[in-house]
Amino acid sequence: MSKFKNDTVQADARRFLDDRGSSAALAPNGLNPATIMEKAVKDRIVDSYFYKEQCFALNEADIIDRVVEHVNFIGGTHGASQKPSPFLCLAFKLLELAPSDAILNEYLSYGGEHFKYLRALACFYVRLTRQPKDVYQTLEPFLEDRRKLRRKARAGTSLTFVDEFVDDLLTKDRVCATSLWKMPKRETLEDLEILEPRVSPLGDLEDLLEEDEEENNDDRANGEREESGEISEGEMEVDRDEDRDDDWRSRSRSP
């Protein structure tokens, strides 16, 4: 009987997390949403006060309330007790709710324009549950979103950007205390003609590489004539590297 009632969802996660078999439907990529997150992380989420108080009886619209009011950083677990972040708790709630594509689109485009953490959350959810083709197609437009995000990890808080986060989702295998399922690479999908080759906003990648090579050739030709110039350039590069290192450290230290 409950199978036909699709307009309601259970208020708590008890049935969703039942070890004897979840009643929830599979995600579009064929995974069981109840096992996408790791058991240890899942247990921490369900035990956390934020989840019990703020994530109880949410529906798709209430998720927006919570994101706007409570999410001000992305991340998995933090602190000595490995407290799960509100971001992660809400991602888990989304797995429970399994919102439709239309609602996800609202989160990503209309809501995402104004609330960057809502977009980050929806991107994370899309990466966890959708098919590879859809993941690439929905997430790639957000590689042009340059808004800042705060990221809290075990090491401390650092600065990141929406495009960086989306890139992590597409390329890395572990983000926000969740191991992402292994997605085929973009090149493979292109070879299978499932995806069109991507045109980077920077322009054609091969043209860029060619230009670089030409510049290098020019440099070499110049360098043969004036050797001293090349040495000084090399030193400068070293300096620049050190600068970047310092920059990175200070960034990770800042709150």
Partner 1 sequence: MSDSKSKSAYGVAAGDTDFRKNWDLDEYAAKAKEREAKEREEGKARYEAKLAGKKYHKPLTGNETYTSARRNIIDVSAQVGKTQLVPAGTGVGKRGKGAGFYCEACDLTFKDNLQWVEHLNTTQHLLNTGQTTEVKRATVEEVHDRIEFYIRRKEDLEKEKATSLHDRLQLREEEMQKEAEEKRKKRKEETEKKRQEKEQAAKVKTEYGEDVRIEGEHDEDDMMAQMGFTGFGSSKK
Nearest distance from C-beta of residue 51 to partner 1, angstroms = 10
Residue 82 corresponds to which amino acid?
Q
When asked if residue 10 is in the footprint of partner 1 (CB under 8 A), the reply is yes
- Site for partner 1, residues 19 to 78, rule: CB under 8 A: 49, 52-54, 56-62, 64-65, 68
CB atoms within 10 A of CB 129: 23
Contact 109, 118 (CB under 8 A): no
Distance CA 70, CA 143 (A): 25
Tokens at 187, concatenated: 């090149």
Nearest distance from C-beta of residue 53 to partner 1, angstroms = 5
Q: Which is nearer to partner 1, 112 or 132 (CB)?
A: 112
When asked if residue 103 is in the footprint of partner 1 (CB under 8 A), the reply is yes
Distance CA 20, CA 23 (A): 10
Instruction: Please work out the total of residues on this chain that contact partner 1, with binding judged by CB under 8 A.
Output: 32
- Report strand pairing: 178-179 vs 174-175: antiparallel
Q: Which is nearer to partner 1, 100 or 188 (CB)?
A: 100
Nearest distance from C-beta of residue 72 to partner 1, angstroms = 14
Contact 129, 90 (CB under 8 A): no
Task: Name, in order, each residue with C-beta under 8 angstroms of 121's C-beta and a sequence gap of 6 or more.
Answer: 67, 71, 87, 90, 91, 94, 107
Tokens at 118, concatenated: 């809502």
Q: Which is nearer to partner 1, 2 or 232 (CB)?
A: 2
Nearest distance from C-beta of residue 221 to partner 1, angstroms = 55
- Site for partner 1, residues 113 to 152, rule: CB under 8 A: 114-115
When asked if residue 110 is in the footprint of partner 1 (CB under 8 A), the reply is yes
Q: Which is nearer to partner 1, 97 or 175 (CB)?
A: 97
Tokens at 93, concatenated: 């709630």
When asked if residue 106 is in the footprint of partner 1 (CB under 8 A), the reply is yes
Q: Binding partner 1 by CB under 8 A: which of 100, 171, 200, 252?
A: 100
Q: Which is nearer to partner 1, 51 or 87 (CB)?
A: 51
